[in-house]
């Protein structure tokens, strides 16, 4: 299972120009995401993001926080503050198990529910899961030549675009070194902002489901 360490950024015309000059374009793809949760937001309030993308189920879960260096330098603290790290689970039995554990207080009779087979979606209604967000993204991907660093420029169909610098590491891998690679890539792109940039979901929820958004803000998930 891999852990995705990433930093989002707002891509100005200057950044795009730099990226096109120093980066290599890996191509463009389009995907439609549907995100699911219970009406009480039991998954997202636990920072669990269940989605269906291109017909496949994925669950993004937070990873354990770092013990790391005892006295991190200021730039390491900043790099960490600007980055997120999430585990991406793609095995349907494991997704089903994790979701079942998260919603079990609300659905007492799902204890004995067995793992679904591919294509069987009856587990969604049994766990009271409904789609709360869906959007299509056009993604252009680049590499800067630095090993393992990918830059994605996302254009969502609800009118928001955002960039991501991303490094994939194995679970238990070196998050600090991934953050360092991301910091170097950000420098190459001339990114100067020290603020966390909103992802597509933040903007989507704020705009279309403000009540859900407020709950996640209060719970410090977003
Ligand atoms: C993890 C998460 C959410 C799920 C969507 O994740 P995100 O990386 O924003 O979407 P996308 O389409 O780029 O997925 P990818 O293709 O990279 O796997 S929605 C909110 N979160 C948590 C979160 C957060 N708290 N802060 C920031 C800056 N991003 C995400």
Ligand 1 atom at minimal distance to the Cα of residue 200: 9
Closest CA to 197 of 4, 5, 11, 66: 11
Q: Does 199 contact ligand 1 (Cβ within 6 A)?
A: yes
The pLDDT assigned to 53 comes to 96
The pLDDT assigned to 147 comes to 78
**Cα 127 from chain centroid (whole Å):** 23
Mutate to test the pocket of ligand 1, among 1, 33, 36, 60 (most ligand atoms within 8 A of CB): 60
- Closest residue by Cα to atom 8, ligand 1, is 199
Copy the structure tokens of residue 202.
């933040």
The pLDDT assigned to 113 comes to 72
Task: Map 21-50 to HEC letters.
Answer: HHCEEEEEEEEEEEEEECCCCCCHHHCCEE
Please give the distance, rounded to the nearest whole angstrom, from the Cα atom of residue 176 to the centre of ligand 1.
19
Q: Does 213 contact ligand 1 (Cβ within 6 A)?
A: no
Please give the distance, rounded to the nearest whole angstrom, from the Cα atom of residue 168 to the centre of ligand 1.
14
Copy the structure tokens of residue 138.
């056009």
The pLDDT assigned to 65 comes to 64
- Whether the CB-CB separation of 86 and 4 falls below 8 Å is answered with yes
SS3 state at 169: strand
d(C-alpha 66, C-alpha 84), whole Å: 12
d(C-alpha 150, C-alpha 152), whole Å: 7
The pLDDT assigned to 70 comes to 64
The pLDDT assigned to 104 comes to 81
The pLDDT assigned to 74 comes to 74
Cβ within 8 Å of residue 118, ≥6 positions away: 92
Q: Does 62 contact ligand 1 (Cβ within 6 A)?
A: no
Q: Does 37 contact ligand 1 (Cβ within 6 A)?
A: no
Backbone dihedral angles phi then psi of residue 193, each to the nearest 5 degrees: -60, 140
Please give the distance, rounded to the nearest whole angstrom, from the Cα atom of residue 109 to the centre of ligand 1.
31
Q: Which residues of the chain have pLDDT under 70?
A: 65-71, 106-109, 111-112
d(C-alpha 55, C-alpha 90), whole Å: 12
The pLDDT assigned to 118 comes to 79
Closest CA to 175 of 73, 89, 74, 67: 67
Q: What is the DSSP string of 163-206?
A: EEEEEEEETTS-HHHHHHHHHHHHHHTT----SPPP-HHHHHHH
- Whether the CB-CB separation of 5 and 148 falls below 8 Å is answered with no
The pLDDT assigned to 18 comes to 92
Q: Does 86 contact ligand 1 (Cβ within 6 A)?
A: yes
The pLDDT assigned to 27 comes to 96
Q: Does 191 contact ligand 1 (Cβ within 6 A)?
A: no
Closest CA to 6 of 50, 60, 70: 60
Q: Does 49 contact ligand 1 (Cβ within 6 A)?
A: yes
d(C-alpha 90, C-alpha 31), whole Å: 16
């Amino acid at each position: 299972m891999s852990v995705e360490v990433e930093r989002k950024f707002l891509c100005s015309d200057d950044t795009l120009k730099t990226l096109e000059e120093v980066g290599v374009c890996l191509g463009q793809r389009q995907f439609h995401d549907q995100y699911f949760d219970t009406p009480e937001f039991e998954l997202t309030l636990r920072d669990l993001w269940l989605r269906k993308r291109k017909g496949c189920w994925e669950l993004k879960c937070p990873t354990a926080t770092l013990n790391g260096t005892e006295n991190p330098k200021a730039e390491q603290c900043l790099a960490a503050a600007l980055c997120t790290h999430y585990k991406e689970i793609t095995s349907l039995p494991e997704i089903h198990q994790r979701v079942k554990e998260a919603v079990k207080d609300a659905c007492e009779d799902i204890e004995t529910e067995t793992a679904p087979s591919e294509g069987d979606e009856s587990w969604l209604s049994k766990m009271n899961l409904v789609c709360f967000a869906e959007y299509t993204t056009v993604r252009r991907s680049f590499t800067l030549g630095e090993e393992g660093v990918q830059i994605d420029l996302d254009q969502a169909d609800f009118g928001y675009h955002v960039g991501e610098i991303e490094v994939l590491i194995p679970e238990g891998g070196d998050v600090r070194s991934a953050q360092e690679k991301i910091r170097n890539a950000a420098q190459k792109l001339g990114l100067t902002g020290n603020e966390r940039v909103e992802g597509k979901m933040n903007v989507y929820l704020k705009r279309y489901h403000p009540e859900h958004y407020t709950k996640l803000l209060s719970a410090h998930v977003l």
